[in-house]
Amino acid sequence: MQYALLVHGSPYASRACHSAWEFAKAIVSTQEHTLLGVFFYQDSVLIGNQLAQVSRDEFNIQTAWQHLSKESGVPLHLCIAAAISRGIINESESQRYELEASTLAPQFQLEGLGSFVALINDCDKLISFK
């Protein structure tokens, strides 16, 4: 079965990113299922801010997602509109808005809702985490 994940909740104010990561780990660990991608929407896009620093005694959910993506090849999409409104931009958006630097963490990519629709069309099941 081919899955896609939709994450809504903030990585700092809810367990949505953590629960989705646990589910994603379970999917990629089997040969029976495939994870086509993860789409972070609303406050969950904060997961892709490379400037965010986690206390040393806390679990770093951003790093966990980055490792999962790097090892499995699962794309991590951030809703571009939600990300930009929260100060998360890549190099091209940085130039577009005449800003000095990008804030997008490695392994994450900015995508529009069209990419989300394509992900939905390609998967068998969409699982949402709020």
Give 33's contacts (C-beta < 8 A, 6+ positions apart): 1, 2, 3, 27
Residue of 6, 17, 79, 89 marked active site = 79
For residue 79, indicate whether it is catalytic.
yes
Question: How distant, in Å, are the alpha carbons of 4, 29, 40, 80, 126 from that of 117?
Answer: 11, 25, 13, 14, 11
CA within 13 Å, CB half, 34: 9
Q: What are phi and psi of 42, to 5 degrees?
A: 55, -135
Q: What are phi and psi of 43, to 5 degrees?
A: -70, -15
Using an 8 Å Cβ cutoff, are 27 and 9 in contact? no
Write out the catalytic residue numbers: 79
